[in-house]
Amino acid sequence: MVEISEHIKDLIIASLSGEMGQEEAKELQTWLRASKENKQYYYEWREIWTSTSPSPKFDVEAAYQTFLSRIKKSEPVTTHRYRYLYYAAAAIALFVVSVLSYKTGESNIKSNFADIAVEAPAGSRLKLNLPDGTKVWLNSGSKLTYSQGFGVDKREVNLMGEAYFEVKHQEDKPFSVNSTNLRVNDLGTKFNFCDYADDDEAIVTLTEGKVSLDNFMNYQNNQLLAPGQKAVLDKKTGELTINNAENDYQDWQNNMLVFNGDALNEIAKKLQRNYNIKVIVANDALYQLRFHGSFNTQEAHLRDILDALVATNKIHYRVQGKKVTFY
């Protein structure tokens, strides 16, 4: 088991409680990049932190003891950190909000809600309405999860993959979407959020309204995004940049598969997600090739796209069952 210094633990607590300065954030970021074990340790603490439920009666001591007891299951907590933990628990308790439900009016918040998962398998897309009226379109190979208690005290969903959201406005209950690397917070907007696990970047593109972003990698919070802008997170460096968005980010909703100068490795990922196949690139040099093209996935067969790529005289392919090899 990796030995973690008390100083690093203090930095983690400061990060989770929102009390971290710029220099501390840089130090914690350097430590996280040092090893996968360090990242895993941080993620475990964050999971425990976010799962600590505050008391409806604003019982600060109870909230503190709950978080403390969960940490003790994995390691002893020293006196040195008590002060941070106590004030952090106090901050958690202050965020208790209304216990009104959507359909039954006033009710008690239940402590153990089950998660609801909705998935669009490779080769398919789907649309769903959340309990608050928010509309969500899920792209191929994507999964959305949310609690049965969605909307009771907060509106929060977790995303793996890509989805487009049209959020129902509720000023007293902001809407949040979490991925492994980013959180999007808003009141009532339209935006596209793409964060596939095997992509090098996570991208948020805003159509209407305003959102703020929390970067879990660099601990940058409240990064604002305006309509027509996109935020791109480099998963290797943790750097978040904001630029003007292209007009093709919603093409997938219209069943369009667009290659806008995409490298072959990105094209391979899109083909796998859209046609539920496995794509292999036999020669690493082919990864540098880029292609342009636009296809309607409801009309174009896989071989139509493959033949179009071959027509550039840059690559060849062979098909074996559900496996395609570029060479």
Q: What is the pLDDT of residue 111?
A: 54
CA distance 24 to 14: 9
Per-chain mean pLDDT for the chain = 80
In the predicted structure, residue 60 carries a pLDDT above the cut 50: no
Both 106 and 190 in one domain: the answer is yes
Residue 231 within a domain: yes
Report which of 130, 120, 157 is spatially closest to residue 255, judged by C-alpha positions.
Answer: 120
| More confident site: 206 or 35 | 206
Both 128 and 54 in one domain: the answer is no
Q: What angle, 0 to 180 degrees and rounded to 10, lies between the N-to-C axes of helices 22-33 and 6-16?
A: 120
Q: The pTM is what? A: 0.63
Residue 1 within a domain: no
Question: For 240-254, what is the mean pLDDT?
Answer: 86
Q: What is the pLDDT of residue 292?
A: 92
Containing domain of residue 284, as a range?
Answer: 255-326
Distance from CA of residue 141 to its chain's centroid? 14
Any bridge partners for residue 213, and if so which? 184, 223
Last residue of a domain, one of 37, 70, 93: 93
| More confident site: 233 or 54 | 233
Both 311 and 293 in one domain: the answer is yes
Both 108 and 225 in one domain: the answer is yes
Q: What is the pLDDT of residues 104-159, one digit of tens each?
A: 443 444 456 788 999 999 888 999 999 999 999 999 999 999 988 888 888 999 99
Q: What is the pLDDT of residue 38?
A: 84
Phi, psi torsion values for 47, nearest 5 degrees: -65, -45
In the predicted structure, residue 80 carries a pLDDT above the cut 80: no
CATH of the domain at 116: 2.60.120.1440
Q: What is the pLDDT of residues 220-235, one digit of tens each?
A: 777 889 899 999 999 9
Q: What is the pLDDT of residue 139?
A: 94
pLDDT interval class at 53 (50, 70, 90): very low
Both 104 and 216 in one domain: the answer is yes
Q: How many domains, in total, are found in the chain?
A: 3
Both 222 and 104 in one domain: the answer is yes
Both 315 and 226 in one domain: the answer is no
User: Is residue 163 within 8 Å of 184, Cβ to Cβ?
Assistant: no
**∠ at Cα 161 (156, 164), nearest 5°?**
65
Both 34 and 143 in one domain: the answer is no
Both 111 and 215 in one domain: the answer is yes
Residue 228 within a domain: yes
